[in-house]
Amino acid sequence: MGAIIADEGSKPEIPARIAQSTAALAKLNTIWNDRNIALSSKIGLMCSLVMSIFLYACESWTLTADTERRIQAMEMRCLRKLLGITYRDNISNEEVRNRTRQVIGPTKTS
């Protein structure tokens, strides 16, 4: 897996992590599209198989507004994939969070 350490901080690391975790997300399409698998199971798999790749070595990242936005965007991309929602469906991020919160419970938001 490895982490990229650079003079400009975590800037080059985040796009690399996004690419790796997006590839992992795509490899699991058959699971995400299977309506016989419970949403709670899909969320558990997403956290362990996709978000763990994305957040690897994140403790070394410089948390800026841009970094936080990218983290939230990646999380929303994953949740939308699990729910079968695309951006064309015109469903807000808040509604996506509400639908998944019913399964995983409330999370701390800033």
Backbone dihedral angles phi then psi of residue 48, each to the nearest 5 degrees: -80, -30
In this prediction the pTM is 0.77
Classify residue 72 by its DSSP letter. Answer: H
Tokens describing residue 39? 């949403």
Q: Residues 50-93: pLDDT tens digits? A: 999 988 888 888 888 988 898 899 999 999 999 999 889 999 99
State both tokens at 40.
Answer: 């709670």
Residue 44 and residue 84: Cα distance in Å, rounded? 16
Tell me how crowded residue 74 is: count the other CB atoms within 10 A of its CB.
Answer: 20
Instruction: Find the distance separating the first CA and the last CA of the chain, reported in whole Å.
Output: 30
The domain limits of the chain are 13-104
